[in-house]
Amino acid sequence: MKKRILIIGASGQIGTELTMYLRGIYGNHKVIASDINEAAEEIMESGPFEILDAMDYDAIQDVVINYEITDVYLMAAMLSATGEKFPMKAWNLNMNSLFNVLNLAKDGKIDKIFWPSSIAVFGPTTPKQDTPQKTIMEPSTVYGISKQTGERWCEYYHNKYGVDVRSIRYPGLISYKTLPGGGTTDYAIDIYHKALKHKKYICFLNEETTLPMMFMDDAIRATVNIMLAAPEDVKIRNAYNLSAMSFNPKKIAKTIQKHIPDFEVEYEPDFRQDIADSWPQSIDDSNARKDWGWSHKVDLDEMTKVMIENLKGEYE
């Protein structure tokens, strides 16, 4: 199989795990990792790595030609909380990087694109429970506006130019290998670190803030599976709703207390509360389940067990 993959944003929370997973499937030298920053040691040492600015079309094109890239996973983005602090930077990065890869595909230089969307495409006027695939979308964050716009462009490039672009609306993603940066759902990772380190966590969302979430292993499987699906099975070409579990800070804290009984949480909501309040609480992902066979594996109790097992060594 003449498949060669470029991951843009390979040093980030998703990119790190995605790179290693894809290297396991396709072979180390077939998966080229790239990022504006150096990546984790296992990525730098296990296969090719290029320093690459996702906003630099010519530099991306050079890497695509040099390595004869067929598939691009564009994982570079500025997330919701940082996006509110640097609106124009977030818009420029999130949109220009997408146009760069869409145009490479339009010009026949690559075959296939994965581009992540997010639950942030929804807004305060969206139905909050079991949010349907097609519904009111009036995002109120810069990040959400960029993802919503990106979805429209993905569908446009597919319909107009036949570009094979595939996308998922990720919920909050929880992982232990790489820390997230600048998101609103990041509390659900930080809480495990602080529970192990201090037995105490000060949460920037209030205890009732329910959000859709997913363990990273499930998110990686979804990403790879939508890319492996037959083109005719990928019926939605903006982005698929995707869901695994929903919880609030109080609920995740309870699962942690099963392992660390004297763990305590205090609540000091900040500007991220408004962002979280604008997002759905649960997601209807029946289209992904029907069209390309999506199903999640990890629930909240299982995730907490795995997170604590894997992080406790760092704090002993």
Q: Interface residues with ligand SER (CB under 6 A)? A: 79-80, 118, 120, 143, 170, 172, 183-185
**Cβ nearer to ligand SER, comparing 115 with 143:** 143
Q: Is 72 exposed, middle or buried (0-12, 13-18, 19+ CB in 10 A)?
A: buried
**Cβ nearer to ligand SER, comparing 40 with 79:** 79
Residue 130, phi-psi category: left (phi > 0), alpha (psi -120 to 50), beta (remainder): left
**Cβ nearer to ligand SER, comparing 67 with 240:** 240
Question: Helix 249-257 crosses helix 187-198 at what angle (to 10 degrees)?
Answer: 30
**Catalytic member of 143, 176, 201, 240:** 143
**Cβ nearer to ligand SER, comparing 69 with 120:** 120
C-beta of residue 75 within 8 angstroms of C-beta of residue 9: yes
| Residue, CB closest to ligand SER | 183
Residues 6+ apart with CB under 8 A from 24: none
Nearest-approach distance from CB 271 to ligand SER, in angstroms: 13
- Run of H or E residues at 22: helix 13-26
**Known catalytic membership, residue 143:** yes
Nearest-approach distance from CB 272 to ligand SER, in angstroms: 8
Nearest-approach distance from CB 143 to ligand SER, in angstroms: 6
CA nearest to 129, candidates 190, 63, 210: 210
Nearest-approach distance from CB 106 to ligand SER, in angstroms: 26
Nearest-approach distance from CB 162 to ligand SER, in angstroms: 28
Question: How many CB atoms are located within 10 Å of the residue 230 CB?
Answer: 7
Residue 27, phi-psi category: left (phi > 0), alpha (psi -120 to 50), beta (remainder): left
**Cβ nearer to ligand SER, comparing 143 with 192:** 143
Phi, psi of 33 (to 5 degrees): -90, 145
Q: Which residues does the annotation mark as catalytic?
A: 143
